Amino acid sequence: MKQKISLVAALLFAVIFSVNAINPSNKTIATNPTSVDFSNFDKSTTINGKSLTNITPNDIQKLTGKKLSLKEVIKLKAAQKLLKAKAKKGGDGYSKGIFILLALLGWSWLLMGIQDDFSGSTWLVNLLLTVLCWLPGFIHSLVHMKDYTK
Q: For residue range 55-105, list pLDDT tens digits in order.
A: 888 888 888 888 888 888 888 888 888 777 666 655 556 788 888 998 999
C-beta contacts of 82-88 below 8 A and 24+ residues apart? 82/24, 82/26, 82/29, 82/30, 83/30, 83/49, 83/52, 83/53, 84/53, 87/49, 87/53
pTM (2 d.p.):
0.42
User: What is the spatial distance between Cα 18 and Cα 12, in angstroms, rounded to a whole number?
Assistant: 10
